[in-house]
Every structure is written in C-alpha cells, then in structure tokens.
C-alpha cells in the first residue's frame, strides 16, 4: 500500500525468492492467492524483488539463435491485405529516409573538411561515401598500400588534385603534427616552409629506423 511500509513474514519472503524467476504479473497473482494478501500490489512486489536483487534473469532481448514462433508459417490472405499498405518493399524509401536520400555521385564535405562522394547505396553505411582526393589519386596510382595514407601538401583539403597529395607512411604523421619544444606543425606552416618540414620529418623517421636496426 502506498504511504506505509509493507511487512512480509520470513516464510513469505522465502516463497517469493523461490519463485523469483516468474513473470512479475504471475508471481503477484500467485502470491496474493496463496497468502491471502490483498494489501500488496504488483508494483509493491516488483519493488521488493528489486531491493532484494531477486531478478528474473530475462533481459527483454531475443537470445542469439532464437527461432521466431511464426517462422515458415504463411501469412493468411486477409492479414496480408491488411498489412500491404504499410509493408516495406525492397528498394523503396519513404518518410525521413526518402527526404535524406542522396543519389550516387552526390558530394558533401565531411566534418574534417574533406570532399566526399557517394559511390554506392549498399552496406555498410560507412562505405557509401569516399574521399574524392582518394578516388582521384587511386585512379592514377592504384590502391593506397596498408600502413600508408595521403597527406595534403598545400593544406587545402578541398583541393582534390592528385598532385596535391603525397603518399606517406602513417608512422610519419606524428612528426608532421608539431609538438613540444615549439615544433611547427606541417599544416600550420607557411607554403614555402612546408617542403622543408616534410623533408625533415622523413629524415628523422629514417634516422630512427637506422637506430632501431642497429640495436
């Protein structure tokens, strides 16, 4: 009852705990009938089980490998006719999905400022858009090797000319990002300084490789 504490006898608590995995609705009905308690609501019983940590073990999710109860059963003509107006059809879009849809070949700018182009409508969703500078560079030079990336030379990420992008190892990126001691980041440098920073970064990386090889 709301407004006052409900008392349970030890025998009642033991009875409830022994049946803690029951659905709460069934547990409440059985408890009230067995113990003749009319002062305990279903919410009271549910709250008691939560306080005691007596969980049902159910998560509300279908377990992996679960088979639908209607698998293989044909839909009756009457039900199919009733559902037809709202059924999804393969390849069809409606509502917000239709409003947001962009056709293949559409272009957009990513959050990082790269120009991207939609290349397909398939899955996964993340693969639908690809950076235009990558598309153009790979058309000339082939796929970017593993462990490598393209570095924008003039700092303008919207400049997709393949000549504006250089293939470098990902290990070289930290040396181009500046750092302690007032090291100038490549992207923040003046155009005339950028080539020198790239060369210095490559030399440092090569020196580190030689030192590691000698150890």
Q: What is the mean pLDDT of residues 32-44?
A: 93
107, 36: one domain: no
Q: What is the mean pLDDT of residues 100-124?
A: 95
Beta bridge partners, 169, equal: 148
- Three-state DSSP at 81 gives helix
Residue with tokens 């790239």: 198
Q: Residue 212: what pLDDT?
A: 80
Tens digits of residue pLDDT in 133-154: 999 999 999 999 999 999 999 9
In a domain, 70, yes or no: no
108, 207: one domain: yes
Strand pairing report for 115-118 and 129-131 = antiparallel
207, 108: one domain: yes
Q: Within 10 Å of residue 35's Cβ, how many Cβ atoms?
A: 15
| 171 pLDDT above the threshold of 80 | yes
- Taking the C-alpha atoms of residue 41 and residue 179, their distance in angstroms, rounded to an integer, is 65
- Taking the C-alpha atoms of residue 128 and residue 106, their distance in angstroms, rounded to an integer, is 11
Q: Within 10 Å of residue 98's Cβ, how many Cβ atoms?
A: 9
Q: Residue 115: what pLDDT?
A: 97
- Provide the residue range defining the domain that includes 48: 10-52
């Amino acid at each position: 009852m709301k407004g006052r504490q409900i008392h349970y006898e030890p025998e009642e608590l033991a009875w409830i705990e022994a049946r803690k995995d029951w659905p709460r609705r069934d547990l409440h009905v059985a408890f009230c009938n067995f113990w003749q308690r009319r002062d305990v609501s279903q919410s009271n019983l549910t709250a008691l089980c939560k306080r005691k940590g007596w969980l049902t073990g159910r998560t509300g999710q279908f377990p992996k490998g679960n088979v639908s109860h209607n698998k293989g059963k044909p839909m009756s003509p009457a039900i199919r006719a009733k559902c037809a107006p709202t059924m999804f059809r393969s390849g069809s879009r409606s509502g917000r999905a239709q409003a947001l849809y962009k056709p293949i070949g559409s272009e957009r700018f990513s959050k990082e400022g790269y120009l991207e182009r939609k290349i397909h409508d398939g899955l996964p969703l993340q693969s639908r858009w690809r950076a235009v500078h990558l598309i153009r560079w790979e058309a000339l030079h082939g796929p970017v090797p593993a462990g490598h990336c393209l570095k924008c030379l003039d700092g303008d990420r919207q400049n997709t000319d393949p000549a504006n992008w250089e293939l470098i190892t990902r290990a070289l990126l930290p040396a181009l990002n500046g750092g302690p001691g007032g090291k100038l980041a490549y992207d923040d440098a003046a155009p005339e300084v950028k080539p020198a920073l790239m060369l210095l970064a490559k030399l440092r990386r090569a020196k580190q490789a030689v030192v590691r090889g000698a150890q």
